[in-house]
Amino acid sequence: MTREIKTTCPYCGVGCGVIARIADDGNVSVKGDPDHPANFGRLCSKGSALAETIDLDGRVLHPEIAGRRAGWNEALDLVAQRFSDAIAEHGPDSVAFYVSGQLLTEDYYVANKLMKGFIGSANIDTNSRLCMSSSVAGHRRAFGADTVPGTYEDLELADLVILTGSNLAWCHPVIYQRLTAAKQARPGMKIVVIDPRRTMTADFADLHLAIRPDSDVALFLGLFEHLIANNAIDQNYVAEHTNGFAEAFASASGVSFNEVLERTGLPAMQLREFYRLFEATEKTVTCYSQGINQSSSGTDKVNAIINCHLATGRIGRPGMGPFSLTGQPNAMGGREVGGLANMLAAHMAIESGQDRDRVQRFWQSPAIAEAPGLKAVDMFKAVGDGRIKALWIMATNPVVSLPDSDAVEAAIKACPFVVVSDILKTTDTARHAQVLLPSLGWGEKSGTVTNSERRISRQRSFIDAPGEARADWWQLAEVARRMGFADAFAFASPADIFVEHAALSAFENSGSRDFDIGAYAGIGKAAYEEMTPFQWPQPIGDERIVTRFFAKGSFFHADRKARFVPVEPPASDRTSADYPFTLNTGRIRDQWHTMTRTGKSARLSAHIAEPFGELHPRDAMEIGIGNAGLVEIESPHGRVIVRALITERQARGSIFVPMHWNDQFAARARIDAVVGPLTDPFSGQPASKNVAVAARPL
Ligand code: SF4
């Protein structure tokens, strides 16, 4: 008889519910879960192809040491010994974990606990750093905690939806489906897309603002100024629930309308129309994604957006608010357990002595990290210059995905000890592992993930673990045990870990902290297995209740007020005579990350079969590139060769190249070899969308 298991899609931050159907002969098929409040039965192309990606081709099926098969005991003993030796000889900051938004919350929790509470360093960072850390930093500055105020339903209830730096149609397709359905039902709803490229999402917009790269701060400063000039400020909300309005006003009033026109490159009519729409529309949601976050001014962009919503009091009410769309399936779960180098656990602050003390007493740990650790880009610089002696990489492929990726590869090769936990032995990173540990993939592992609207859902196993593969949390707990921390890591199941995570969120929390799922602290293994999706901070069992934050203030700064953050428009043109083009990297519809999973599906690969560089026709003509010709794109950091796709969708002077391809699928197509290691000063997020490059025919 066919079995059906409810689980969650492992790709993007929409977090769609999936029903896996397992036939008697073992064949697996998938369909959308009609009861899941994120997708109500919908799936996109990637989600619907999940069953095509679960074969064992390329899998790591047993531990390996220096390329030879090893037993688990030998491998784990070696990992524990080498990490302990490095810590004894060079101190706790000589080791690092680089983890992933692909990990389940329970894996993340154990990794964070081991590094921050028992090793005593904060050198644990995640590939979510590349994805949404500017939003985290912006939320913390404005709200006092990393809290997403709204919910997907707000996009459907809004009269104006602004999508900035978001190709929703390709990157969050089920939210796009929900939004298009809402617009069809209510054609009066307006959609504004802010993006230098005319993407598929822009095709559906009432207004497309093709701004120059990194001119978003100027655009939203101009909006802020416009709202003040036109008496559109919610004076009561500002007075009762915020601080810093005058300083933000001062920063905005230094930017004239003409300066906004000059910086953004927009026609005056379009700019006026955008400002008028925002001013006139109470129910406005502003969604932002990687085009905002992946920037050297990403955090300021986030705060420039939030300032406009605070000023109008449009936050936390149905159909209103700033809304960060997270890239990865569990970036939010990682944030909840403190998986970033500058956060603690349960959204507590590593800079706060009170929070450090609270977490240490809860964990009863021998140490607690005293200061933020190395963020992703800096972590790999430290690997490269020899400060990191032992590195453990889990469920991610930094040789492809980190900026300056040739330098990252060289650093990993030179590191004295590198452990990689992954499901595949063929990734560009796994091939450099001295110890390779076989992990569980989607359909094999169990735990929870949190989506962009704070909804926690179960991923459930429905396939037996292949070979000797084991869960990441188990690998971490076994290493912790061998390092002398057996009692604190005596977890027998993901349920044990989730219960501890929930208890920590409620520990000495009298409502002053945002993250609290303490109601789940007491659930047993059976209830954990039965868990239905819920959106924290709602009570247990009320999965259909919609929760929002901040309609009546109650922010998470000590005075319970939000902060306006003064921001300044940055210099954004990085081009020069040698590097006259602006490179913008991003995702395509049917691939995910470095293609290690989606690259297995012929159906998905048929959408776009090879890496490409999107160029404006006049640029292509000027440099002598014909359609489908090969183009070499180069920066001081590296070069790639891709096929030219000549289209007027691309702005003049810009080139778009997808981030997915790696050496496994195409020679010299790792675009992050070209992207430099420039980061946002607050979030540490790399600037992957504004890179000065040269382009020439091959
Ligand atoms: Fe999976 Fe995202 Fe597609 Fe939903 S929208 S099916 S979570 S990839």
CA atoms within 13 A on the CB side of 485: 24
Q: Is CATH 2.60.40.420 what the domain over 581-697 is classified as, yes or no?
A: no
63-72, 361-370, 519-528: lowest mean pLDDT where? 519-528
Mean model confidence pLDDT for the chain: 95
CATH class of 3-53: alpha beta
Question: Which of 19, 44, 168, 289 most suits a substitution to test ligand 1, by most atoms within 8 Å of the C-beta?
Answer: 44
Render pLDDT for 544-583 as a digit per residue (tens, 0 to 9): 677 899 999 999 999 999 999 999 999 889 999 999 999 9
* Ligand 1 lined by 377 (C-beta under 6 Å): no
64-130+330-535 CATH fold: Rossmann fold (3.40.50)
- Decide if pLDDT at 37 tops 90: yes
**pLDDT for residue 665:** 63
Tokens linked to 542: 């009320």
**pLDDT for residue 542:** 61
How far is C-alpha 309 from the geometric centre of its chain's CA atoms?
23
Work out the pLDDT band at 414, boundaries 50, 70, 90. very high
Q: Which residue from 222, 249, 260 is spatially nearest to 311, judged by alpha carbons? A: 249
φ, ψ for residue 190, nearest 5 deg? -105, 140
Q: What's the DSSP call for residue 56?
A: -
Tell me: cis bond preceding 537? Omega within 30 of 0 counts: yes
Q: For the chain, what are the domain ranges?
A: 3-53, 64-130+330-535, 133-325, 581-697
Quote the CA–CA distance of 64 and 439 in Å, as a whole number: 12
Q: Which residue from 698, 675, 697 is spatially nearest to 688, judged by alpha carbons? A: 675
Cβ of 194: how many Cβ atoms within 10 Å? Answer: 27
Quote the CA–CA distance of 613 and 661 in Å, as a whole number: 12
133-325 CATH fold: Dimethylsulfoxide Reductase; domain 2 (3.40.228)
The strand pair at 534-535 and 455-459 is best described as antiparallel
* Ligand 1 lined by 178 (C-beta under 6 Å): no
Cα radius of gyration (the chain): 24
* Ligand 1 lined by 32 (C-beta under 6 Å): no
* Ligand 1 lined by 169 (C-beta under 6 Å): no
Do residues 52 and 600 lie in contact, with contact meaning Cβ atoms separated by under 8 Å?
A: yes
What ligand 1 atom has the least distance to the C-alpha of 329?
Answer: 7
The ipTM, to two decimals, is 1.00
- Decide if pLDDT at 337 tops 70: yes
* Ligand 1 lined by 173 (C-beta under 6 Å): yes
pTM to 2 decimals? Answer: 0.96
